[in-house]
Amino acid sequence: MMFASVIVSITASDVNKVFEYKIPEGLSDLIKVGHRVLVPFGPRQIQGYVVDIKDEVEYDAARIKPIIRALDIRPVLTPELIQLAGHLADHYIASYISVIETILPAALKSKSKKMLSLHSPGGEAELAWQGMNLPHEVEVKTLSASQLAALKPYITSGEVIEETVLTQHTKKKYARALKPTFAPRGDFGRAYKQLELLDFIEQHDEYVLLSEVLEHGYTSGTVNELVKKGYVRRTDVVVERDPYKSRVFEEDPPKELNSEQEYAYNEIIRAVEEDTAETFLLHGVTGSGKTEIYLQTIAHVLDKGRTALMLVPEIALTPQMVNRFKARFGDEVAVLHSGLSHGEKYDEWLKVRNGGAKVVVGARSSVFAPVENLGIIIIDEEHETTYKQQDRPMYHAAEVAKYRSRYYNCSVILGSATPSLESYARSERGVYTRIELNHRAVTRTLPETKIVDMSVEHRSGNISIVSDTLREAIEERIRLGEQTVLLLNRRGYANFQICQDCGHVPNCPNCDISLTYHKAQYSLLCHYCGYEDGVKRECDNCSSDEVTFRGTGTEKVEEILRDMFNTGIVRMDNDTTRRKGMHEKLLDKFEQEKVPILLGTQMIAKGLDYPNVTLVGVLNADTMLNIPDFRANEKTYQLLTQVAGRAGRHELSGEVIFQTYNPGHYAIDLAQGNDYRTFYEKEMAFRRLARYSPYYFHVLFTVSHETVQKCLEATTHIHQALVKSVTDKAIIVGPSPSPIERINNQYRFQILLKYKNEPNLLEVLHEINLHYNELYKKEKLSLKIDVDPKYIM
* 596 versus 607: smaller Cβ distance to ligand ATP: 607
Instruction: Give percent helix, percent strand, percent coil of the chain, each to the nearest 5.
Output: 35, 25, 40
* 479 versus 578: smaller Cβ distance to Zn ion: 578
Subset of residues 286 to 315 that bind ligand ATP, contact rule: CB under 6 A:
286-292
Given Zn ion, ligand ATP, none, residue 334, with its beta carbon under 5 to 8 Å by kind, binds none
* 279 versus 288: smaller Cβ distance to ligand ATP: 288
How far is Cα 303 from Cα 186, in angstroms, rounded to an integer?
52
Q: How far is the CB of 628 from Zn ion (least distance, A)?
A: 17
| Phi, psi dihedral angles at 313 (to 5 degrees) | -60, -45
**51 membership: H or E segment, kind and range:** strand 44-54
The answer to whether 399 touches 98, Cβ cutoff 8 Å, is no
* 75 versus 419: smaller Cβ distance to ligand ATP: 419
Q: Does 257 bind ligand ATP (CB under 6 A)?
A: yes
Q: SS3 for 518?
A: strand
Q: Does 258 bind ligand ATP (CB under 6 A)?
A: yes
Q: How far is the CB of 489 from Zn ion (least distance, A)?
A: 20
Q: Does 255 bind ligand ATP (CB under 6 A)?
A: yes
The terminus-to-terminus CA distance of the chain in angstroms comes to 53
In the set 22, 337, 388, 649, which binds ligand ATP (CB under 6 A)?
Answer: 649
Q: Where is the binding site, in residues? A: 499, 502, 508, 511, 526, 529, 539, 542
Given ligand ATP, Zn ion, none, residue 609, with its beta carbon under 5 to 8 Å by kind, binds ligand ATP
Angle between helices 290-303 and 319-329 (to 10 degrees): 30
Q: Does 485 bind Zn ion (CB under 5 A)?
A: no
Quickly list DSSP for 86-113.
Answer: HHHHHHTT--HHHHHHHHS-GGGS-EEE
* 308 versus 511: smaller Cβ distance to ligand ATP: 308
Q: Does 143 bind ligand ATP (CB under 6 A)?
A: no
Neighbours of 187 (CB within 10 A): 5
How far is Cα 471 from Cα 557, in angstroms, rounded to an integer?
13
Given Zn ion, ligand ATP, none, residue 769, with its beta carbon under 5 to 8 Å by kind, binds none
In the set 645, 654, 734, 735, which binds ligand ATP (CB under 6 A)?
Answer: 645
In the set 48, 75, 105, 284, which binds ligand ATP (CB under 6 A)?
Answer: 284
The answer to whether 718 touches 726, Cβ cutoff 8 Å, is no
Q: Does 498 bind Zn ion (CB under 5 A)?
A: no
Helix (H), strand (E), coil (C) string for 334-366:
EEECCCCCHHHHHHHHHHHHCCCCCEEEECHHH
Given ligand ATP, Zn ion, none, residue 94, with its beta carbon under 5 to 8 Å by kind, binds none
The answer to whether 705 touches 779, Cβ cutoff 8 Å, is yes
Subset of residues 388 to 417 that bind ligand ATP, contact rule: CB under 6 A:
417
**709 membership: H or E segment, kind and range:** helix 708-725
In the set 313, 362, 607, 789, which binds ligand ATP (CB under 6 A)?
Answer: 607
Q: Say which residues have a Cβ less than 8 Å from residue 778's Cβ, sequence separation at least 6.
A: none
Helix (H), strand (E), coil (C) string for 366-387:
HHHCCCCCEEEEEEECCCCHHH
In the set 531, 666, 695, 791, which binds Zn ion (CB under 5 A)?
Answer: 531
Kindly indicate which of the ranges 88-96, 133-141, 282-290, 527-535 contains the residues binding ligand ATP, using the contact rule CB under 6 A.
282-290
Q: Which residue from 472, 451, 453, 517 is spatially nearest to 490, judged by alpha carbons?
A: 517
In the set 18, 529, 560, 595, which binds Zn ion (CB under 5 A)?
Answer: 529
Q: Which residue from 682, 603, 598, 613 is spatially nearest to 647, judged by alpha carbons?
A: 613
List strand residue ranges (DSSP E) for 642-730, in order. 655-660, 697-705
Q: How far is the CB of 387 from ligand ATP (least distance, A)?
A: 16
Q: How far is the CB of 291 from ligand ATP (least distance, A)?
A: 3
* 291 versus 750: smaller Cβ distance to ligand ATP: 291
Residues that bind Zn ion (CB under 5 A): 499, 501-502, 504, 508, 510-511, 526, 528-529, 531, 539, 541-542, 544
Residues that bind ligand ATP (CB under 6 A): 255-258, 261, 284, 286-292, 417, 441-442, 607, 609, 645, 649
